[in-house]
Amino acid sequence: MIQRFIELGEGYSDIYELLEIARNNEHRLTHMIAFHSSVEGRPVTSLAVVLSPTDPGGFQPIYICREGIPYPHSTPNKRFDLFKETTEALNRPLIEMDVKPSSAFAETELYFQHLIGILRLNHLLAPLGK
């Protein structure tokens, strides 16, 4: 199985695309996740939608809007509220977790591999080979 992050942007107008992906793929929607971190002392949130693997092919996409949304628990904002409302409308829990920022990694791809490891450890993604 191939599990891969697909970055849509930082969560400005592309948040609407992320929400459409969740709504239009409700039959494949596995998780909706908010990754919280701090970039240059500023608390930010990345929003992600995890779909189930394709069959055939075994490709599992994780769509993400990376680090462009203010941390919602200190700065309430409409973009996070829309994401949360979508989780409720689709009857999915909102999973929130604190993670290192992408700037802690030499490359964005290493950051995404780090997040995949965290998701696997928390049983939110299947281990390799499943």
User: How far apart are alpha carbons 5 and 113 in whole angstroms?
Assistant: 9
Report the DSSP beta bridge partners of residue 39: 42
pLDDT tens, position by position, 4-63: 999 999 888 999 999 999 999 999 999 999 999 999 999 999 999 999 998 888 899 999
Residues of 103-123 as b/e, b for ≥16 C-beta within 10 angstroms?
A: eeeeeeeebbeebbeebeeee
- Taking every pair of Cα atoms in the chain, the longest distance, rounded to a whole number of angstroms, is 44
Listed in sequence order, the residues at least 6 apart from 95 whose beta carbon sits closer than 8 Å to its beta carbon are 31, 32, 33, 34, 124
pLDDT in tens, 75-115: 899 999 999 999 999 999 999 999 999 999 999 999 999 99
